[in-house]
Amino acid sequence: MKQITHWINGQTWVGDAKRRGKIFDPATGQQTGEVDFATNAEVEAAVAAAAAAFPAWRATSLAKRTTALFKLRELLATHVDEVAAILTSEHGKVTNDAAGEVARGLEVVEFACGIAQLLKGEFTENASTGVNVHSLRQPLGVVAGITPFNFPAMVPLWMFPLAIACGNTFVLKPSERDPSASNFLAELVAEAGIPNGVFNVVHGDKEAVDRILTHPGIAAVSFVGSTAVARYIYETAAHEGKRVQALGGAKNHMVVMPDADMGDAAEAAVSAGFGSAGERCMAASVLVAVGGCGDELVERIQARVARLTVGDGVNADSEMGPLVTVEHRDRVASYIGIGEAEGAKIAIDGRNHDVKGAPGGYWLGPSLIDEVSVDMRVYTDEIFGPVLSIVRVDSLDAALELIERNGYGNGAAIFTNDGGAAQRFETEVAAGMVGINVAIPVPVSYYSFGGWNDSLFGDLHIYGADGVQFYTRGKAVTSRWQNIGQHHASLAFPNATASEKARDESEG
């Protein structure tokens, strides 16, 4: 049984854990370890280590920070398979999907390697006579990240590489359900030569989170998780005067127009609906069939799912693994019955799918629920599992209206061969990330990731240029190095209506 504990000030921190969580292998249902839950003491220790490391780290040259980030990039690239294996063993996702997760996180490290370019300020010469103005972006101090179970490597990597590249120090509180990847990342950070205390990990649950939210030594909080918790994080941390970005849940619509290539659309719906067992915030969970293309989509999806291998993620032929916990599997499975009771048609029942895996695993095959209407819970709730609903509508207008009214606004996709329809969709759809013939439009690291409405609380999206803005604060400097010693007091502001000569005189 592995024992996972905190990582503080560059080393494993064996505290006096009063509470612990259990870690399971979702493919077998066996407990494989325990994770210590932080109390105030461990959060204090992590924040103290991060605060102590901050002055020297923010003073470290961009050249040295960049060198360390390049090293981290190399280490991560070398260890992709090990990180992927950890993800599969605790989350359950299949190994090639887990490797893809690490690759998407690695992209953000690569983006952070360009921090010298990203932090460049502005300069204006001679704003007034002999007066120059320039701007700086400076780190905030100690910042924190709180992350969900479904991307135990990628979501922390969305946050900390850029935060530390900007000169901050970091405290991560990962999901207690699959905590090991964070410690592995912490070891790589140390091996990359990033000083002790710059990156710290505290494990735990709400108790640790609440201390982070109210800790006066933490300047900003990045959160990714469910909408209810995101709203709570946003409100609590903002009330404490912190900068906050809180990314929440989703109900992503994939619209299929009648002119789309139906083969492509059906394949994309299967990948986006059932990849990672539907436990992706950008998973397609509602397929919107426009203008009578629903029957063909259902038939094609049924044919593909009949050949889809559900099994232990470590097996190379598994396309979909188990769900993360037994409770989550049971909750997701219950929606098939709920949909049926609400009058929808179960076109594929995942409870009957053959599974190549141990009997104790948290299995559920892909499900397709047809003839779903917007008042049904299978439509309104975020199910977060391999359950895809189909809503049939007559027009693009109706599809856009559905998305507008849904409440979430993470991702939305359209499949079409009509450029006009695609352009209208891009302009009008109420979502932060849009795919055109791309079912999972997660932006590359040099754009930013974020949804609208109940999918994000805060102003700035995560990583990319928004990430640099989030993890820095601006400063504008006005300076004069000419005519020193010739200052004449004037109590008036420089006056826009006065002549240049008068202004020069008033500024001395």
Closest CA to 93 of 102, 201, 247, 1: 102
Q: Kindly identify the residues of this chain, within the stretch 430-489, that bind ligand NAD according to CB under 6 A.
A: 451, 455
Q: Is residue 206 near ligand NAD by the rule CB under 6 A?
A: yes
User: Which residue of this chain has its Cβ atom nearest to ligand NAD in the complex?
Assistant: 225
Residue 384 CB, nearest approach to ligand NAD (Å): 5
CA distance 459 to 147: 19
Closer Cβ to ligand NAD, 324 or 372, answer by number: 324
Site string for ligand NAD, 404-433 (x = CB under 6 A): ------x-----------------------
- The single residue among 84, 153, 237, 281 that binds ligand NAD, judged by CB under 6 A, is 281
Q: Kindly identify the residues of this chain, within the stretch 334-393, that bind ligand NAD according to CB under 6 A.
A: 382, 384
- The single residue among 209, 268, 433, 439 that binds ligand NAD, judged by CB under 6 A, is 209
Q: Kindly identify the residues of this chain, within the stretch 59-98, that bind ligand NAD according to CB under 6 A.
A: none
Residue 205 CB, nearest approach to ligand NAD (Å): 5
Site string for ligand NAD, 126-155 (x = CB under 6 A): --------------------xxxxxx---x
* Residues in the chain, overall count: 508
- Specify the stretch interacting with ligand NAD by CB under 6 A; choose among 220-228, 262-270, 312-320, 339-347: 220-228
Catalytic residue selected from 113, 166, 281, 293: 281
Closer Cβ to ligand NAD, 205 or 342, answer by number: 205
Residue 331 CB, nearest approach to ligand NAD (Å): 11
Dihedral sign from CA coordinates of 229, 234, 240, 244: positive
- The single residue among 201, 229, 333, 383 that binds ligand NAD, judged by CB under 6 A, is 229
Is 281 tagged catalytic?
Answer: yes
For residue 31, how many other CB atoms are within 10 A of its CB?
Answer: 11
Residues with Cβ within 8 Å of residue 197, at least 6 apart in sequence: 8, 9, 10, 49, 50, 52, 53, 57, 169
- The single residue among 42, 107, 176, 454 that binds ligand NAD, judged by CB under 6 A, is 176
CB 255 within 8 A of CB 262: no
- Specify the stretch interacting with ligand NAD by CB under 6 A; choose among 66-74, 173-181, 266-274, 336-344: 173-181
- DSSP secondary structure string for all residues of 92-121: ---HHHHHHHHHHHHHHHHHHTTHHHHT--
CA distance 307 to 239: 51
Residue 491 CB, nearest approach to ligand NAD (Å): 53
Residue 175 CB, nearest approach to ligand NAD (Å): 5
Closer Cβ to ligand NAD, 54 or 149, answer by number: 149
Closest CA to 330 of 29, 87, 88: 29
The helix/strand/coil state of 437 is coil
Residue 210 CB, nearest approach to ligand NAD (Å): 6
The helix/strand/coil state of 184 is helix
Read off the amino acid at residue 1: M
CA distance 24 to 34: 9
For residue 341, how many other CB atoms are within 10 A of its CB?
Answer: 10
Tokens of 226: 């469910």
CA distance 152 to 90: 9
Dihedral sign from CA coordinates of 405, 406, 408, 410: negative
Residues with Cβ within 8 Å of residue 355, at least 6 apart in sequence: 310, 311, 361, 363, 365
Closer Cβ to ligand NAD, 149 or 160, answer by number: 149
Closer Cβ to ligand NAD, 249 or 350, answer by number: 249
Site residues (vs ligand NAD, CB under 6 A): 146-151, 155, 173, 175-176, 205-206, 209, 224-226, 229, 232, 247-250, 281, 382, 384, 410, 451, 455
Q: Please give the positions annotated as active site.
A: 281
